[in-house]
Structure 1
Amino acid sequence: MQNIRYALPLLTIIAGCSGGGVTSTHPFPTDSMNNFVVQQGQSFMVGGQPFRIVGTNNYYMHYASHDMIDSVLDDAKDMGLNTIRVWGFMEGVSHGHTMQPEPGIYTPPAGVKSALEKLDYTVSEAKKRGIRVVIVLTNNWGDFGGMQQYVDWFNGTHHDDFYKDINIKDAYKNYVKHLIEHKNRYTGIINKDEPTILTWELANEPRAQSDNTGELLLNWTKEMSDFVRELAPHQLIALGSEGFFNREGNTDWTYNGGEGVDWERIITLPNINYGTFHLYPEHWGKHNAEEWGTQWIKEHAKAAKKANKPAVLEEYGIGKNEPQNRDFIYHKWTNTAYQAGLAGSMFWILTGTDPDQPNNLYPDYDGFRILNDGGRTAQILTNHSKQMRGVEYSTKDTVYLTYPIDGMKISEPTFTARSYPMPKLGNKITKMQLRIPENDLTVDMVDTNGDGYFEANLVSADIGYGAKTFITVATFAEGERQTDKASVDINRPIKGYEVETKYDFSDRTTQGWQKDGTWQASWNTPAIEVSEKLGKPMLQLNVDWSGKHDWEELKIRNQAVSNFSQHTKMRYTLYVPVNNDDKGGLRPYAALGDGWVKLDADKHRVQVKDLDKVKMGGQYFYKQVVEINLGDLSKKLPDMFVCIVGDKFPLNGSIYIEDIEFLKPVY
């Protein structure tokens, strides 16, 4: 098999394409860290032996306490991880730390701590534990400074000036040189000579939406990877891309080049050692998460093989409160990564202790937190470490109830229960059943489509309404039956919707709505206010859209939406000033702050020429009614974003939002 070549010598793989729960019979070997990892074709090698990355990410290692850093690294080692990806940048000051408070200044000002000291400590302690480090050099996003900070420093106009402006590029190069040639204060080793540093990564998730040919980012990547290669001849170099393709004729935004990324060309660059890609289906509006993600992994494995380069799935995640069986998806994706021959996989995000929290744990801010707590999720990821590192292990058969999931509320009159068995190597499934003990009901489940999913079609009225327990039972040719279960609520069919919470701004306040971030757009001053210019109180957003980009975004946010868990829809009316040529379009959507889950992305994308025009306050406006499906909010924090995106729509002025309404179902 293709993946056998990755097995470590002197260790035996008992079951390569494993199914479920695994028990280790060997401790994880500890890397001596004496040799650099090198790329050979589609593989990595260290000391003449195959090396396969299995790791995680953590964004707070460059500002957290030493104890918090140790906690993450101890848990990573215990889970068998051999790599951790961390931020090697902090442009400006964040969390009381900095790496570069001003362009070319690398010493923290008075009262500010050194983020570089924390990075030094991380590398030093990772080395002791046999864990290699991927260091990212800047950020596409605004967290900890990033590209936009460089653009602001040099009075640039748009995000993509980062890739074009000679002064910005020189400042970036100067910082990169400073970091690569820096001597670690704990090890005494210059970074470029440290085998613990696996990879210099040019940026986190770079995009260049101003150029959908991909040339801008490709040329920047070549220039910077060539520059880093001169400074660090022994270490690996990667871009840090999400892995978007640029395939002609494809309508999927992750495949059609709209983000300015051409992954298949980038990985052919001579000083890019491997291709990185990320995987967040829910964030990207792909709600068939497992199937879409599995295909995403296979597409990158295939493209990397064609380029004769390794591919690493370096970030992936499913939010814990999403309507998905996360454990199943992580198991399926990691098995797919292994079987497809990926050179590595790294989940987002391993966290550890935080003494400032009541439960002594770092908070789950984005919903992706993984704890080394002995639970099923941690065990699945530890098992994957054994797969990737060639540690001997045994397997058992497993089954997952993939829909419905525990805690779900079902309102549809009919629905399909789905299960996915994962037999150990050499075994096979012989029968799948679904039991609902409250009804003393057992039904057979059938793999109708031949895709591994076993299904049973159910009628809510026949099952009865209220709390139910769903138990899936898998019978295998050999061994014991395996089960998985979920507690769900079957609700009566929805007859309609009624407004439960309404923001009408009649008290002349913003009622908790505040300005938030932008992307390739700017707020004017004041950014947000309540106005009666159109005849009634509305939320007025004062914005500057250049009209040059198809995604110029501004966001408003409310972190205390009343009765949030009861809502399933949100509705508002948008008024945007008419321009002379009906130029451009709008593409509003919403997002849940709990896990940053995009909702109805591009469902409401429209060219303004196709919208109704209305005259209000003596001026003509495009009118768009936006209704967003929110899904099941029962486990979500009451944190809501309304996101207004201009699609090559020029405007330096005001747009208006009338009556933000949250609706609940009527049964």
Structure 2
Amino acid sequence: MTVNRRDLLVSVAALAATAAAPAPASPFVRRVGTGFRRSGRRYPIVGANMWYAAWLGAPAPLGDRARLARELDRLAALGVNNVRILASAELSPLKNSVTPAFRSAAPPYNAALLHGLDVALAEIGRRGMTAVLYLTNFWEWSGGMVTYLSYVNGGRYVNMNDPAHPWPEFPDFASAFYSNPKAVGLYWDYVRAVVGRTNRITGRAYASEPAIMAWQLANEPRPGGSEAVGRRAMPAFQAWVKGTARLIKSLDRNHLVSTGAEGLNSCLQDAACVIEEHANPEIDYLTAHVWPLNWNWVDAKDLPGTWAAGAEKSRTYVAQHEAFARRLGKPLVIEEFGFPRDGGSYDPSATTMWKDRFYGLIYQAVEKSAATGGPIAGANFWAWGGEGRALHPDHGFRRGERAWLGDPPHEPQGWYSVFDTDESTKAIIRDFAETMQVVR
């Protein structure tokens, strides 16, 4: 690292000591300038993605609450204080979409999964952690926006990675969601139900639940795939961002709201799109995702040869979004970042030298921003697989299985998961957590 950790700790401690007087103590995470506070102290995000938490929290035989507790204990032991989880899934005809789902075309919603979400939030809160909950998905693996469209258009849809509908047909099809009032109306009905829910375990309304840090409009929403379609959909997309954020804030004034967006890579590489999306007063902080392999910045079969170029592009991408956050005066969370295991293997026994190096790159950017009063407020790695293991030699997921990993059903199981046996990666996460605690 270019910043010596000991020097960093000293500088961050000095920054914290000279900071303005803290805001009044609150059990809820608050945005104060370009940072977060909780209970009167700075709250840097040391986070993980664990999309499947509600499925583990559901009653048996669907759920596995003992495993949920073990996984959260493991994360807490690493110093993780924030978990980003899926709070929706739409029963879908799309290939590789998760089942069971939270909802179908009409209520009632799935009581078992909603109870599982209650349990997950109760367990997260019991450990002093917080959760970010996303309320739908642009992509197919949890049903998402294409499924909402199928509910109202007579059952029409496009499958992701269908050779008959090559990229970017899927994201272009999904972009019609924003301008379809019936589809958006169904989504908003679900938002009202979840944000307005009362937790059956804690007895608290979700709007009064300290274990919730933020509501998120969707996972990786974008106006479209192609330039032409994305530009046409842009006004409806931005109106959807504004309208949904306003709806959530009308239901819940205690919690933060964010978009769940990737940043430039989900905004047609247009800085004006990112700025408009996050300038809304109801959007409390910016998000960015960094995926060097998915974006063809590195080659999984030649990580040594492609690392330098991919690392430079990753640093540039983070810096661009840090600049957006400075301009808007809001925090930025690098809430998804992932990297393959050595040789592109999916097996837990494969080494993670390059993955660990990438985690260090992201964490260094966050630590440097924290040390200098910058707006990067934390990071959530993708994703915690814990004790989960692929059930098949091809590392594929079969519809209806329940051996959840950090990799959603459409991906090879083990692609980006951090397993409970990944000691070197866990050490890097633990070091990051220790460093970030100083700024509290």
What TM-score results when the alignment is normalised by the length of structure 1? 0.50
Shift of 1:104: 3.4
* Corresponding residue for residue 130 of structure 1: 128
List 4+ stretches of structure 1 deviating above 6 A: none
State the alpha-carbon separation in 2 of the partners of residues 326 and 145 from structure 1: 29
1:16 is matched with which residue?
8
Separation in 2, partners of 1:62, 1:195: 17
Shift of 1:34: 6.3
The equivalent residue for 1:240 is 260
Instruction: Name the SS of the counterpart of 2:141 in structure 1.
Output: coil
**Larger RCO (alpha carbons 8 Å, 6+ apart):** 2
Gaps of 5+ in 2: 11-24, 57-63, 157-172, 299-308, 345-352, 393-402, 408-412
Distance 2:77 2:365 in 1: 23
1:348 pairs, out of 347, 372, 382, with 382
Larger strand proportion, structure 1 or 2?
1
2:222 maps to which residue?
207
- On the 8 A contact 2:388/2:419 being kept in 1, the answer is no
Pick the aligned partner of 2:331 from 298, 310, 314. Answer: 310
1:371 matches 2:419: yes
Task: Provide the secondary structure at the position in 1 that maps to 2:91.
Answer: coil
Shift in Å, 1:267: 1.4
Residue of structure 2 equivalent to 1:148: 146
Contact between 1:297 and 1:337, CA under 8 Å: does it hold in 2?
A: no
Q: 1:74 to 1:223 in 2, by over 3 A?
A: same
Provide the rounded CA distance (Å) in 2 between the counterparts of 1:219 and 1:348: 29
Find the counterpart in structure 2 of residue 332 from structure 1. 361
Structure 2 contact 214–257 (Cα < 8 Å) conserved: yes
Q: Is the 8 Å Cα contact of residues 137 and 219 (structure 2) preserved in structure 1?
A: yes
Judging changes above 3 Å, is the alpha-carbon distance between structure 1 residues 95 and 63 closer, same or farther for their aligned structure 2 residues?
Answer: farther
| C-alpha spacing 1:387/1:372, structure 2 compared with 1 (3 Å) | farther
Aligned-partner residue type, residue 295 of structure 1: T
Equivalent residue number for residue 71 of structure 1: 70
Find the aligned partners of 1:168 and 1:52 in 2 and give their Cα distance. 36
Are 2:434 and 1:386 aligned? yes
Query: What one-letter code is carried by the residue in structure 2 that aligns with 1:198?
Result: M
CA–CA separation in structure 1 for the residues paired with 2:146 and 2:125: 32
Q: How does 1:100-499 map to 2 (within 5 A)?
A: 100-107=103-110, 114-155=112-153, 158-209=173-224, 210-212=229-231, 214-244=234-264, 255-256=269-270, 262-287=273-298, 288-322=309-343, 325-340=354-369, 341=374, 342-354=376-388, 365-373=413-421, 375-390=423-438
Matched to 1:310, the amino acid is P
Counterpart-to-counterpart distance in 2, 1:270 and 1:391: 26
Residue 50 of structure 1 aligns with which residue? 42
SS at match of 1:339: helix
1:632-664 deviation digits (Å, cap 9, x = unpaired): xxxxxxxxxxxxxxxxxxxxxxxxxxxxxxxxx
Equivalent position SS for 2:334: strand
Structure 2 CA distance for aligned equivalents of residues 123 and 194 of structure 1: 9
1:68 touches 1:352 (CA, 8 Å); kept in 2? no
SS at match of 2:8: coil
Tell which deviates more after alignment, 364-373 or 230-239: 364-373
* CA shift for structure 1 position 344: 1.2
AA of the residue aligned to 1:306: R
Cα deviation, residue 102, structure 1: 2.4
TM-score, with normalisation over the residues of structure 2? Answer: 0.74
Alignment of 1:600-611 (within 5 A): none
Tell me how far apart the structure 1 counterparts of residues 109 and 185 of structure 2 sit (CA, whole Å): 15
Q: For residue 173 of structure 1, what is the amino acid of its counterpart? A: W
Secondary structure, counterpart of 1:62 in structure 2: helix
Aligned equivalents of 2:378, 2:84: Cα separation in 1 = 12
Q: Alignment partner of 2:379: what SS? A: strand
> What is the identity, as a one-letter code, of the residue corresponding to 1:307?
L
Aligned mates of 1:163, 1:322 — CA distance in 2:
40
Unaligned runs of 5+ in 1: 4-12, 19-32, 109-113, 247-252, 393-667
CA shift, 1:130, in A, is: 1.0
Larger helix fraction of residues: 2
Q: What is the count of residue pairs matched by the alignment?
A: 353
- Please state how far the C-alpha of 1:162 moved relative to its aligned partner: 1.3
Q: Distance in 1 between matches of 2:124 and 2:246?
A: 27
Shift in Å at residue 98 of structure 1?
Answer: 2.7
How has the CA–CA distance of structure 1 residues 355 and 333 changed in structure 2, closer, same or farther, with 3 Å as cutoff?
closer
Structure whose CA Rg is larger? 1
Cα distance in 1 for residues equivalent to 2:326 and 2:439: 25
Cα offset for 1:226? 0.6
Once the two structures are TM-superposed, the CA of residue 57 in structure 1 deviates from its matched residue by 0.3
Change (3 A) 1:254 1:318: farther
Separation in structure 2 between the aligned mates of residue 125 and residue 356 of structure 1, nearest angstrom = 25
Shift of 1:220: 1.0
Deviation (angstroms), 1:14: 4.6
For residues 58 and 189 of structure 1, the distance between their equivalents in structure 2, rounded to whole angstroms, comes to 23
Query: Partners in 1 of 2:415 and 2:141 — Cα distance?
Result: 17
Please give the alpha-carbon distance, in whole angstroms, between the structure 2 residues aligned to 1:104 and 1:322.
46
Deviations 1:256-284 (A, max 9, x none): 47xxx921221111100001110001101
Rounded Cα–Cα distance in structure 2 between residues aligned with 1:356 and 1:188: 36
User: By how many angstroms is 1:48 displaced?
Assistant: 2.4
- 1:158-192 residue CA offsets vs partner (Å, 9 max, x unmatched): 32221111111111111001001111111111111
The letter for the 2-side match of 1:311 is: L
Q: CA RMSD in A?
A: 2.9
Provide the C-alpha distance between the structure 2 equivalents of 1:240 and 1:95, rounded to a whole number of angstroms: 19
Q: Secondary structure at the match of 1:240?
A: coil
- SS of aligned partner of 1:199: strand
Q: Which AA in structure 1 matches 2:415? A: G
Q: Tell me, yes or no, if the aligned pair for 1:98 and 1:115 is still in contact at 8 Å.
A: yes
SS at match of 2:242: helix
Residue of structure 2 in register with 1:520 after alignment: none
In 1, the alpha carbon distance for the partners of 2:343 and 2:311 equals 12
- 5 Å-filtered alignment, 1:481-560, equals none
- Contact (CA 8 Å) 2:89, 2:98: kept in 1 or not? no
Cα distance, 1:115–1:240 mapped onto 2, change above 3 Å: same
Worse-superposed segment, 80-89 or 370-379: 370-379
- Partner of 1:35, secondary structure, is coil
Q: What are the superposed Cα offsets for residues 367-390 of structure 1, whole Å, 9 maximum, x if unpaired?
A: 111124362111011111112221
Report SS of the residue matched to 2:384: coil
Answer whether contact 1:17 1:335 (CA < 8 A) is retained. Answer: no
Q: Do the aligned residues in 2 keep the contact of 1:68 with 1:354 (CA within 8 Å)?
A: no
Q: Is the 8 A contact 1:57 1:349 kept in 2?
A: yes
SS at match of 1:138: coil
CA distance in 1, matches of 2:50, 2:317: 23
Contact kept, 8 Å, 1:180 with 1:231, in 2: the verdict is yes
What is the CA–CA distance in structure 2 between the aligned matches of 1:322 and 1:189, rounded to whole Å?
47
Q: Counterparts of 2:343 and 2:336 in 1: how far apart (Å)? A: 18
The amino acid that maps onto 1:56 is A
1-side partners of 2:217 and 2:42: how far apart?
A: 25
Question: Could you say if the C-alpha distance between residues 254 and 297 of structure 1 is closer, same or farther in structure 2, counting changes exceeding 3 Å?
Answer: farther
Shift of 1:290: 1.2
Number of the residue aligned with 1:440: none
Q: Distance in 1 between matches of 2:342 and 2:191?
A: 38
Alpha-carbon distance change, 315 to 100 in structure 1, aligned in 2, over 3 angstroms: same
Alpha-carbon offset, residue 107 of structure 1? 4.2
